[in-house]
């Protein structure tokens, strides 16, 4: 479905959750998804989206 939406919505980008994992913490099991770089996800993706601004993000590798 994500690939279909990306192809149908002009300017849409499909992001992988793995792109926001912190390599030093992501290998440990956690009930609260501690391995996710939340601050970077919020700063680089969610806030600009909410403010209807263009944004960029750095892929993991």
33-55 pLDDT tens trace? 777 888 888 999 899 989 999 88
pLDDT at site 42: 92
User: DSSP letter at 31?
Assistant: T
23 occurs within a structural domain: yes
pLDDT at site 59: 72
Domain count, the chain: 1
Q: List all residues 6 or more positions away from 30 whose beta carbon is below 8 Å from its beta carbon.
A: none
2 occurs within a structural domain: no
Cα separations in angstroms, 46 against 1, 5, 27, 30: 20, 18, 24, 22
pLDDT at site 30: 67
Provide the residue range defining the domain that includes 41: 16-61
4 occurs within a structural domain: no
- Quote the pTM value: 0.66
Residue 11: pLDDT band (50, 70, 90) is confident
10 occurs within a structural domain: no
C-alpha 48/C-alpha 30 separation (Å) is: 28
């Amino acid at each position: 479905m994500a690939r279909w939406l990306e192809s149908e919505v002009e300017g849409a980008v499909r992001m992988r959750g793995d792109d926001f994992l912190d390599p030093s913490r992501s290998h440990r099991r956690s009930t609260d998804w501690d391995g996710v770089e939340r601050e970077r996800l919020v700063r680089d993706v969610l806030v600009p989206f909410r403010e209807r601004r263009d944004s960029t993000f750095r892929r993991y590798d």
